[in-house]
Structure 1
């Protein structure tokens, strides 16, 4: 079969939003039209790409395998069109989840740079971001960098995000204005569905080992709203979060900074060295100017970041530009 690019675009939109209705809105289609495109694509490929449920549409194993190739295919199609149209396409930026700090950073960048267009893509973090950068399916990825990268990928640290905890009002620490890490040894940090082998799982494993914390990854993850309901009913459970998380408001849950030391989650920006998108140097300059280095007197970082030597000093902008 020859792949229908419209169907492939629909597949990517649903994978990003995990919802047929939201993907249809993005593509200015009816939900019936986008469903027909996916049905045609699945029939042609001879497999099921999505698992439909009341909570949304998640990728099947085959859908996950197809996604990076679909992104690469659409990227090539867009580049082919741009080569004759002269139009500059939006900068494609990959983030782990739209509630997290990277999305807020991009929002701030767009407020400071009128006229720049950005497409936000959600993925599974560093593992999918690396391959998508190499294939050209995305221009930029934000993730914690661990392990080796392809030689074609450059990166720099952009934001050391202080951790907070979300905690129910029944918890003994709920009235505190700050919480020391040592005070959390009797609590259970809930992280249902925390993905083994992911860069964030490794971060929290290191944090737990250094400060004798308990992390519970059991159970399916039904979304942050459901998790906050569980926290509100508990006297000993907490949820770690970054200070810039856009958490849904809950009357029985409070957000409190963690101190002594402040655990910092290290966000980096990654891009392909040969990428020549005109907005990329502007984004690099913006995040470099806002970088605040690690302070060993107040912060905690995993050993991997300390050994990298990248987090302790500001970076020279010109040497990092593509």
Structure 2
């Protein structure tokens, strides 16, 4: 059944005249007549009785009218549900402690009227996250993905470079340093539990360890961030790496130290993946916000070779 024919039928029933219905719908009276005739042929019944001063509903038209209104209301609801901005922007932030989640949270704090929903596809690698964006499971995802691996139909905008910091306990030899270079970390064990093979962050740390000669490992089970903080506080040799925008909390008596890296500064290159041509207004506002408020990155940046492709 033609939805526009139903819409025209309801307009004629409401106005009582073909010309008034045509004016309301912005079409010609001839188009109104053609739509009504097509609808009557489809239902095999006369719906409107023509008279000198207008039209009135036939008995069959009176039966059809409430159903036609329900159909049009359902169509309107369906259109509204997928209209840009009518539903929340669904965005994958990977992990709620790291800088993408914190950046989206700051965006929401400054734009509380924006309708968004954050998820964590933490078990998917970048290729799987990109597929989730393509198929519409999520609208966008923060990932470190080389340009030559971005699937057709997606756009990737590098919007959130996250400088790396060393995190150590008070007994570590580097605990009192105001800043350190990657060369200073040679010979120290850097423990990053939870690195999964095949993920983009595994590639990042692998290349970082090879370029700077570092000992970065994920040995042993990962009992959570709190357990990692406990281990750092109790160790005089253990260290880990975190992003400058990552949010970690620990008891005050742990006295952990976050130490910036420099000469060069390793940077984790978060890109925002989204469907090309996506007009969701919250996505546009978020991209504008990140461009304007992204973290200040020092000039001596190091990123993996694949991040520049």
Q: CA deviation at 1:185?
A: 0.7
Equivalence for 1:93: 91
2:278 to 275, 279, 288: 275
CA separation in 1, counterparts of 2:257 and 2:168? Answer: 5
Equivalence for 1:286: 289
Q: Rate the CA distance shift 1:179–1:88 in 2: closer, same or farther, 3 A.
A: same
Equivalence for 1:255: 258
1:301 to 280, 300, 303: 303
TM-score (norm: length of structure 2): 0.68
CA separation in 2, counterparts of 1:128 and 1:170? Answer: 41
1:82, 1:88 within 8 Å by CA — same for their partners in 2?
A: no
1:235-254 correspondence runs (5 A): 235-250=236-251, 251-252=253-254, 253-254=256-257
CA separation in 2, counterparts of 1:193 and 1:113? Answer: 33
Equivalence for 1:121: 119
What is the RMSD computed on CA atoms of the aligned residues? 2.3
Structure 1: runs of 5+ lacking an equivalent: 1-79, 309-322
Q: CA deviation at 1:84?
A: 5.1
Equivalence for 2:102: 104
Whichever of the two has the greater Rg, that structure is 2
**Counterpart of 1:203 in 2: which secondary structure?**
helix
CA separation in 2, counterparts of 1:102 and 1:197? Answer: 21
CA separation in 2, counterparts of 1:81 and 1:196? Answer: 44
TM-score (norm: length of structure 1): 0.66
Q: CA deviation at 1:260?
A: 1.3
Equivalence for 2:145: 145
1:55-66 correspondence runs (5 A): none
Q: Rate the CA distance shift 1:162–1:287 in 2: closer, same or farther, 3 A.
A: same
Output one character per residue of 1:115-162: Cα deviation in whole Å (capped at 9) or x when no partner.
101101001352332111011111111111135122010011102111
1:83 paired to 2:68: no
Q: CA deviation at 1:83?
A: 2.7
**Counterpart of 1:179 in 2: which secondary structure?**
coil
CA separation in 2, counterparts of 1:184 and 1:81? Answer: 59
Q: How many residues align?
A: 228
2:229, 2:250 within 8 Å by CA — same for their partners in 1?
A: no
CA separation in 2, counterparts of 1:91 and 1:118? Answer: 4
Q: Rate the CA distance shift 1:117–1:237 in 2: closer, same or farther, 3 A.
A: same
**Counterpart of 1:255 in 2: which secondary structure?**
strand
Structure 2: runs of 5+ lacking an equivalent: 1-75
